[in-house]
Amino acid sequence: MIERFSHMRVGVPKEVKNHEYRVALTPAGVRELHAHGHDVVVETNAGIGSSIGDEDYVRAGARIAKHADDLWGDAELVLKVKEPVAQEYGLLRDGQTLFTYLHLAASAECTQALVDSKVNAIGYEMVRSADGRLPLLAPMSEVAGCLAPQIAANALTKVNGGRGMLMGGVTGVYGAKVVIIGAGVSGMRAARIAAGMQAKVILLDRNIEALHAADAYFRGAVQTISSSAHAIEEAIADADVVIGAVLVPGARAPRVITNEMVAGMQPGSVLIDLSVDQGGCFEDTRPTSHADPTYTVHGSIFYAVANVPGAVPVTSTAALTNATLPYALALADRGFAGACAADPALAAGVNTAAGALVSEAVAQAHDMPWTPFGD
């Protein structure tokens, strides 16, 4: 029989990452945790960016903490949206469970901070079901994929430094050529929106089965191409927009577009790297923020915001809670060890535990020692 915890102290801090407006839990989520007998504490104004006021949380059964130090110091389970940043490292503590997006393959500093603090850290993006799905990454991948063509359409305007093109063109005039690399959740969503804008869309992936599925879904509205370095170079040479949506779960994203390839592209073309959380799939990718989202490489515009869904927090926060709440309830009800023992999908998301790095993919990214979880 698995032990059931009562009165787990669950903390929901305000996100401090640049222009991050999401929050890890909606009032509906608070209500569920409260109904299970848990004490939920939300930092004041944590939900304001998602149009959720402190009073909404209080009505759902939460308490409000005025200071982040108090919340982190008391919480046994911390629910966040983004990985801890430097100002939060000192708030992590031994035995605490942190449940959030981590993307540690992109940050050796954050990885070391989690190991040093001895926190039990579970990354949303690595929770993996038996059939290979990533149920907690999927909702934000959907949002990012849907946003990418909108972002590209804006960046393509001349006033924003782009080529001065309309994504779908008009009668008698070509629309934009949009190349999407990766036929996963975000790539498929980006292709759907771009095709809906009447752009010419080319979707590349190395997985032929994924391309078969895309062909069946789009029924000829999107052209599918087997991905290779040669195919990518040919496809992007005259592209107006390139969207990188490459994912290797938990590991650093492979770099599929080189600086040399970008040099051969049209001036004013737009490249959006949705893989930036995992280090980026373009050689010239460097993380940007919503405050300063773009930079130029060889006359092309790069967009590499590391928290794209944060731009639409009302949608993103609701979608995130829908996905994460069952796992958060399991962690609160059974504790870290019990919940992971009961659910291999959740256990697959563990990155650090009791001072050890337990993710092989993260260890390989930073050449760090690791120990398999449970050993």
Give the mean pLDDT of 99-124.
96
Q: Is the pTM of this model over 0.85?
A: yes
pLDDT at residue number 340: 97
pLDDT at residue number 73: 95
pLDDT digits (tens, 9 = 90+) for 133-147: 999 999 999 999 999
pLDDT digits (tens, 9 = 90+) for 199-255: 999 999 999 999 999 999 999 999 999 999 999 999 999 999 999 999 888 888 999
Q: What is the mean pLDDT of the chain?
A: 95
Give the mean pLDDT of 357-369.
95
CB-based contact 237:214 (threshold 8 Å): no
| 36 among known catalytic residues | no
Give the mean pLDDT of 295-304.
98
For the chain, give the percent of residues with pLDDT over 70: 98
Marked catalytic residue, from 277, 284, 333, 343? 277
**Taking 80 as the threshold, does the pLDDT of residue 4 lie above it?**
no
pLDDT at residue number 375: 67
| 103 among known catalytic residues | yes
Angle between helices 138-155 and 185-196 (to 10 degrees): 40
Runs of H (alpha helix) within the chain: 27-35, 54-60, 68-74, 86-89, 108-117, 138-155, 185-196, 208-218, 229-236, 259-263, 313-342, 344-347, 360-366
Marked catalytic residue, from 38, 103, 205, 284? 103
**Taking 90 as the threshold, does the pLDDT of residue 2 lie above it?**
no
**Taking 60 as the threshold, does the pLDDT of residue 1 lie above it?**
no
Rg (CA), the chain: 21
Backbone phi, psi, residue 180, to 5°? -120, 125
